[in-house]
A and B are shown apart, each in its own frame.
Chain A
Amino acid sequence: MSVLKVITPGISTIQDHGRFGLQRYGVAPAGAMDRTALRRANELAGCKPGTPTVETGPLPATFEVSGAPIRIAVTGAPRQVSISGRQAALDQTHLLRDGERLAIGSARGGMFSYISFEGGLLTEAQLTSSSLDERAGFGSPFKRPLQTGDFLEVTPATIWPSERSAAIPSSGLSQRNVIRVILGPQDDYFFPETIDQFLNTRWRVGLNSNRMCFTLDGPLLAHAKGYNIVSDGTVRGSIQIAGDGQPFVLLADRGTVGGYPKIATLATVDMDRFVQIPAGGEVRFEAVSVERAQALLRTQASRGTPAMRDAGTVTVLNEAALSSANLAGAATNALEPAAFEY
């Protein structure tokens, strides 16, 4: 086994396809935020879909290899990547030799990146997944985000005739950062004018966005009949309107039930594009019917290609603000009193 040592973790966690089947016990699926990028990372590295990867948020992260060479690929958010000072392209495999450092720069225009490994990371899946879920006590090899000094065990590289790269896919969407949603299940808790306001606003993804939820900065939305509903189930992409009118989008590490009305739900076909909108980036929502959203998914599946991401506007990150807000779209702080259920 070779070892990948964490020099600076940024905000990094181990993530795979997620842990399903336990939502009835209050355990959210976790798993990669951008599943298209996860799939592409694993394809490049020659791994089965859903193999554990290192997911890293928008802050810089550095790793060092010791032992036999390993082969990696980095996908997801646009950013500079270098191997011991040499620039290394995204969406391409690279060999890392003993003592070499993999430096992932700040994300430019995205949120999450995925580092995959030929042969995979050494993890022990718990209930079908190695993804971190701090609150539920799951995650392998660590039950917490990566820290400086951690060692990850990696299968050494085999000999390949040449390194692989992914064809850069073009976006299937013409408008940037327009994300389709299906209204409901509690759109009847809002006046029609409020729903129009929700659909006509250019929202900004808030600095407090993380794996649990993305907040949306813009006008506060008024509730038509109060904001206390009898708590019911949430899904990845549920858009809840909190008591003060602030919308937030529940994601991979969400609470499995919530007590605020949900005005709309993200369409699955646009989910991975949405989670790559950086903090401060703009987003607008377009309502489609559930039938239309499902037809889009079928079309995508029949093409055999996942929804390809539009890199969006390049936003230079305000790292100081992100660090001080302690968010930066990554590991969930299990004790953070996030505004979801209560």
Chain B
Amino acid sequence: MYVEPKFLACGDSALSVEFGDTIDIEVNARVLTLDRSVSRQPIAGITETVPTYRSLLIHYDPLQTTFAELQRDLLPRLKTEDLSGIATNRAWSVPVVYGGEFGIDLEMIAIEKQITTAELIERHSTRDYRVCMIGFMPGFAYLGGLDERLATPRRKQPRPAAPRGTISIGGEQTALQSVPGPSGWHWIGRTPLDVYAPDRNPMCLLEPGDIIRFYPIERREWAAETRRCEAMIRETLQ
């Protein structure tokens, strides 16, 4: 984490308030705290914000404000030490079929880490993850809190279509794939939880600040777990 956040110009219509250059829960908490502050007490000229792992991207209208003016407006918001406002108080229990055809890279990672696949599954499914950012593709959830012993560099060649629901590891990041799409990460499992549905309100189930808890299921439990997920979504969104 930086001593002082950096203001970086992303062209003439956006700026990034960068709190660090690593994946770190406290850095992300600062990002989300600033995001909440800007959405609760809007600043003139800001049109849209995008929280990421380590920075808040702020889109603005350069005819209403300027890079310099916005920095002045944002500075007092950065003084806060209270990071408690970020919790969404939502925790999602997310079933995952690990390995096999749903997690074709699980075994390779286990071999590389010199552990059994059961140990790998345990390490991945016994922690709480925080949704740090949504992005790249609609609803794609980047999670913080991966056991650093499971970090695995991205593949040199991305594969064209990771199925919806793929749980993957890329570097120190782990993620939940929302819609089918290209992926250079390692696929370790798949969940029936439908985190993105354009016709649902809200279309994007997860919010930055939510907690994710994975639990392993068997392939034959897929249908039953799908129903359980649907019930959980209905209950939470009521």
Taking Cβ atoms with an 8 Å cutoff, the residues of A that contact B are: 20-21, 23-27, 126, 133, 135-138, 182, 184-185, 228-233, 235, 237-238, 255-258, 262, 265-269, 290-291, 293-294, 297-298, 301, 334-342
Contact = CB atoms under 8 A, between A and B. Distances in A.
Contacts of A335: 160-161, 180-182
Given A26-B134, A126-B198, A232 B53 contact: yes
B23 interface: yes
B192 interface: no
B57 A268 contact: no
B100 interface: no
A269 B63 CA distance: 12
A131 B164 CA distance: 23
A182 B8 contact: no
Interface of B: 8-14, 16, 18, 21-23, 47-55, 57, 59, 62-63, 66-68, 133-140, 142, 154-155, 158-161, 170-171, 173, 178-185, 196, 198-199, 203-204, 208
Contact of B204 (A20, A25, A334, A342): A25
A26 B57 CA distance: 13
B13 A233 contact: no
A185 B16 contact: yes
7 contacts: A23-B59, A26-B196, A126-B198, A238-B11, A265-B11, A290-B67, A294-B62
B8 A185 contact: yes
B93 to A, nearest CB: 22
Nearest to B62: A294
Contacts of B203: 25
A26 B140 CA distance: 7
A232 B181 contact: no
A23 B48 contact: yes
Contacts of A136: 138, 179, 198
**In this complex, which of B11, B53, B57, B67 has the most chain A Cβ atoms within 10 angstroms of its Cβ?**
B11
Given A136-B179, A232-B53, A257-B133, 9 more contacts: A135-B138, A184-B8, A185-B16, A233-B14, A293-B62, A294-B62, A335-B180, A337-B182, A342-B158
A255 B12 CA distance: 19
